Structure 1
Amino acid sequence: MHIVVDITVAGGQVERGEEILTDEALAFLAELQQRFGARRDELLAARRERRAEVARTGRLDFLPQTRQIRDDPSWRVAPAPADLTDRRVEITGPTERKMTVNALNSGANVWLADLEDANTPHWANVVGGQVNLADAVRRKVSFSSPEGKSYSLRDDAPLATIVVRPRGWHLDERHLLVDGRPMVGALADFGLHFFHNAAELLARGSGPYFYLPKMESHLEARLWNDVFTFAEERLDIPAGSVRATVLIETIPAAFEMEEILYELREHASGLNAGRWDYLFSLIKYFRDAGPDFVLPDRNAVTMTAPCMRAYTELLVRTCHRRGAFAMGGMAAFIPSRRNPQVNETALAKVRADKEREAGDGFDGSWVAHPDLVPICKQVFDAVLGDRPNQLERLREDVDVTAAQLLDVKATPGEVTEEGLRNNISVALQYLASWLGGNGAVAIFNLMEDAATAEISRSQIWQWIANNVRLDTGEVVTADLVHRIEDEELARIRETLGAEAFDAAPFQSARELFETVALAEHYADFLTVPAYERID
């Protein structure tokens, strides 16, 4: 360990880490933590209090105390910078080096450089991701595979604009200690990228852009805005240079979309509508509410379910009313090189989903694989034409109530043994990979991140708590889950081969899965106990 100013670096050596963990950068991180760490803690406590109130009342509604903000037609977010006005296709992925090159080269308008759900917070990933971001900003990133294949940035087409997603407010970074306590992970991720790259990005005609995950209230957005304002002043970066897009992926945030944009208005760029994390939040928030909030198999819950339709249409209306971009959800399919029939079926679903988004007024959408960039771009090109976005579509026809946002009971579908097996298998495979250091995992032709494991384990917890009966007639119990775990792990071992299976941390993954899926008390985030098992 070595100590710089008020911060202790407790992590090991990482290649080129000294370029990132400079004395000046660490001093900046310490200042962020000292100024904003206590407020983060207070907001996490407020989350718990609000959830407890919902458990007592069974209700969630738009805030009466912020009605004036919602009713005021005059305010708008800041105009978008030039390289964020057209966001019709955004590709997401972790900041590992090969992905960095491929994402920038993909033809997408934006690369969501993910330090959160698609990344595991192993210290090597935390620091190595910052190395790769610094190189990417300066256009000097390249990669050579062990097999000798080389990847470098293209010079025949524009590269994707970089938008960084730091960790959510709930996660700490235990390898950075300020006054002997772990630093807030979000501040570490933001601070290192901002310190090293904000001025360079502005000099190159771009800027420090961020995606903000897992927020639950406008007060958490206010904290982010204060962080941005301080960082700009502290490093002599022009005010308003930061642009932030907020993921509306928690149910309480869906009731505060306007207030979140208002708090960030000088730094806001838009809102994003996801699926797995949003459904995970629905289960978490209303886990005491009984059968009316029980969801069917997660793959049956599409964005056309009534509660999801209300959520996405409200998001588009809210964004465009305030001059912000509405960003659609993820197309996670990984095209197969060997099975054209699988591709044909899956790509038809991808196209239909993107057509729904573009038709509803979204300004762009996400893909997880470069091969999906053309189909997403084609769909949005057909709607946008020469326009960079469709901010002029105000969707004044939309009027969403609290009851519509919470109408989970109207979701079509059933709970099946196949769905239970899929949740168990995917969660075990993902967690084994996550514990091994990889947070973006190809499973059953889909690119999965932590959100998939969260919804999978949450559904199982919910089904057990509500004595849900499967299509086979069996009731979901811990004993049934244990039996299926045995069967699915045997299948995975057969598929991978004994040597590869035994080399992976499947036993630890199973223990973690059972901790967050079968325990009597629901764990708010699986990544918190998972973090204790790494490094």
Structure 2
Amino acid sequence: MSKVVLLQSPPPKFEEIQKTIFSDAALEFLSQLHINFDDKIEQLYKDRLQRTVATKVFSTLDFKKSSERKDKSWKIAPLPSRLQNRHLDLGDVSASNTAHFVSSLNQDIQGIQVDFDDGHCPTWKNQLQAFQNIRLAVNGKLQGAPLTITTCPVLMLRPRAWNMIEHNILINGKEAIGPLVDFAILMFHNAKKLHEANSGPYFYLSKLEGASEAQLWNNIFVWTQKQLGLPQGTIKACVLIENIISTFELDEILYALKEHSLGLNCGIWDYCASIISKFGDREEFLLPDRNKYVNMDRHFLNSYLRLVVSTCHARDAPATGGMAAAMLKPGSDLTDKESKTIIKKILEGKMKEIECGVDGFMVYDARVVPHVNELWKKSGATPNQISRKFEVNISPQDLLTIPQDGVTLQGLKHNVAISIMFIYYWLAGIGHFFYSGNVEDSATAEISRYQIWQWIRFSPPLEDDPDKRVTVKLVEKTASNFAAHAHKNLCRSNAERKRLTAARYMSMELFLTRNPPEFITSYLNDNHKFRTLHNKALLSSL
């Protein structure tokens, strides 16, 4: 019998929720999942380290020469009816925010990215609230939500990525693995109901680094379906291609998940951050001002998008694009000039993705949903574009040649602001926030802090003032000025002021470190400041 220890007592008013979510049966299922896959996950971490070293030594990547890639005949398993149309999901929906989750369940969309990753902060309270809200929604008992899961958009459950450790649970003396906790609890409480309703369980898989990690998830799916008495192939999962390594193993990733595949997804900012993570200590990989020069029209990103779409469609798999992060002003009239401009910009960007062959994408602001739905109707209104087969001739050089554009002071200020504010909100237990007309999450924080680190290292000149370069002094001044402005406009209490000060210094630590952590969420999740703020309960053993 395995021993599971919860290191947190339930927060006030969460006593019954914790007992329900982490029942004896649920804990036993969670522990058995860990016991069966712990060694393989440890190997995954070792493989990642070895791959990072190898990438730096050999300084390039190439497409795998695998039998899966050479064989053009195989396809993924047919998709169930509710996954034939993947036109529109709402993204960054943390089920811990009950009002936002309920609102999303009532939208005219195909799916909801129910997020435990980029847009969610995994405090113990947030985890309990999210698990409970999902369980209630699946059982038709969440107040304000549809009474049956068949009338809701499908829940596209996104567990944490492999880099995240669950510090609040010990299994046989070892801290639990974040994504296994999320997956196990979601499956244990919801899988049978979702299957009976022909509505899941469906998943997004974040930050995979190659086909071996997709194969590990596939093995987890097979084991879990057997344990829960579900038909093999019931689980479907869409892999987010957010890592440069994975772009060179697309066929292999689809093949590894063949019976469980729901295609692939493109995510621009985590993807760009992974390029800096793997190659950013070399000047030819200096990424320019992202707001001005980095978008899906650039050759290296357009090549990535076209390769994902082409590879998916060749295997009868859907390919989905990223999330439109632009926000309309709260309470704004959708017919005013500013709102029309924002909506027009979103639709123009998404139309380009449709023309590239994508089968769907995400938005954050539900107010633009009717406009996006109309865009799809005008574009042909077929459930998907999988029948569009086309060959692309993409080389490693196409994917790895970074545009040689400049850096601006405004770009520096923006990246500093996003880095500080993301940490500030994470310390408050909030996984995404709104800034300068956009929703910001860990993906944008990731690219922001990586760019500042890279700019300090190579000290490029400023486009708007060529006599000046990016220096530590300039970054420190920018961070200080932003913190002073935020202090005046954001902080109302002593706790908020302390949190802002901590966020500023933690950001500078990320900007200046010799060897930056690969993931900002790991850095924060493992940090004593965060763990102290959200670890006030007494130890309890189950």
- In the superposition, the TM-score normalised over structure 2's length comes to 0.92
List aligned pairs for 1:97-496, cutoff 5 A: 97-142=98-143, 151-153=144-146, 158-290=151-283, 292-300=284-292, 301-336=294-329, 337-338=331-332, 340-385=336-381, 387-396=382-391, 398-409=392-403, 413-471=405-463, 472=465, 473-496=467-490
Alpha-carbon deviation of 1:31?
A: 0.9
Contact 2:138 2:148 survives alignment (8 Å): no
Distance 2:207 2:150 in 1: 34
Q: Structure 1: which 5+ residue stretches go unaligned? A: 143-150
Distance 1:375 1:168 in 2: 32
Deviations 1:167-198 (A, max 9, x none): 11111101111111111101000000001101
Deviations 1:89-127 (A, max 9, x none): 110111121121111112111001001111011111112
Q: Structure 2: which 5+ residue stretches go unaligned? A: 535-542
Distance 1:193 1:502 in 2: 33
Distance 2:510 2:338 in 1: 33
Distance 2:141 2:393 in 1: 48
Deviations 1:185-235 (A, max 9, x none): 010000000011010111222121000000011000000000000000011
Deviations 1:477-511 (A, max 9, x none): 22211111111111112322554884561122122
Describe the shift of the 1:360–1:349 C-alpha distance in structure 2 as closer, same or farther (beyond 3 A).
Answer: same
Alignment correspondent of 2:6: 9
Distance 1:504 1:153 in 2: 41
Describe the shift of the 1:308–1:463 C-alpha distance in structure 2 as closer, same or farther (beyond 3 A).
Answer: same
Distance 2:347 2:435 in 1: 21
One-letter code aligned to 1:81: P
What do you get for the CA RMSD once the two structures are aligned? 1.8
Alignment correspondent of 1:523: 517
Alpha-carbon deviation of 1:444?
A: 1.2
- In the superposition, the TM-score normalised over structure 1's length comes to 0.93
SS of equivalent to 2:78: coil
Distance 2:47 2:148 in 1: 49
Please identify, of 152-161 and 244-253, the stretch whose mean Cα deviation from structure 2 is larger.
152-161
Contact 2:267 2:321 survives alignment (8 Å): yes
Please identify, of 330-339 and 253-262, the stretch whose mean Cα deviation from structure 2 is larger.
330-339
Contact 1:275 1:329 survives alignment (8 Å): yes
Describe the shift of the 1:296–1:127 C-alpha distance in structure 2 as closer, same or farther (beyond 3 A).
Answer: same
Distance 1:53 1:266 in 2: 31
Distance 1:141 1:7 in 2: 29
Describe the shift of the 1:155–1:204 C-alpha distance in structure 2 as closer, same or farther (beyond 3 A).
Answer: closer
Distance 1:507 1:497 in 2: 11
Alignment correspondent of 1:32: 33
Distance 2:345 2:406 in 1: 20
Distance 1:483 1:440 in 2: 25
Moved over 4 A (4+): 154-157
Describe the shift of the 1:152–1:500 C-alpha distance in structure 2 as closer, same or farther (beyond 3 A).
Answer: farther
One-letter code aligned to 2:88: V
Describe the shift of the 1:341–1:504 C-alpha distance in structure 2 as closer, same or farther (beyond 3 A).
Answer: farther
SS of equivalent to 1:163: strand
Distance 2:182 2:380 in 1: 34
SS of equivalent to 2:89: strand
Q: Does 1:86 align with 2:90?
A: no
Contact 2:288 2:403 survives alignment (8 Å): no
SS of equivalent to 1:329: strand
SS of equivalent to 2:469: coil
Distance 1:138 1:503 in 2: 42
Please identify, of 419-428 and 43-52, the stretch whose mean Cα deviation from structure 2 is larger.
43-52
Alignment correspondent of 1:74: 73
Deviations 1:305-353 (A, max 9, x none): 1000000000000111111110011111111134844323322211111
Alpha-carbon deviation of 1:439?
A: 0.4
Alignment correspondent of 1:513: 507
SS of equivalent to 1:271: strand
One-letter code aligned to 1:374: P
Deviations 1:343-375 (A, max 9, x none): 233222111111011111100110011112122
Aligned-residue sequence identity (percent) comes to: 33
Contact 2:90 2:362 survives alignment (8 Å): yes
Contact 1:271 1:325 survives alignment (8 Å): yes
Contact 2:140 2:147 survives alignment (8 Å): no
Distance 1:154 1:495 in 2: 42
SS of equivalent to 1:409: coil
Alignment correspondent of 1:95: 95
Distance 1:501 1:474 in 2: 37
Distance 2:170 2:314 in 1: 42
Deviations 1:266-293 (A, max 9, x none): 0001100011101111111102222x11
Contact 1:86 1:109 survives alignment (8 Å): yes
Alpha-carbon deviation of 1:130?
A: 0.7
Contact 2:149 2:194 survives alignment (8 Å): no
Describe the shift of the 1:451–1:318 C-alpha distance in structure 2 as closer, same or farther (beyond 3 A).
Answer: same
Describe the shift of the 1:154–1:383 C-alpha distance in structure 2 as closer, same or farther (beyond 3 A).
Answer: farther
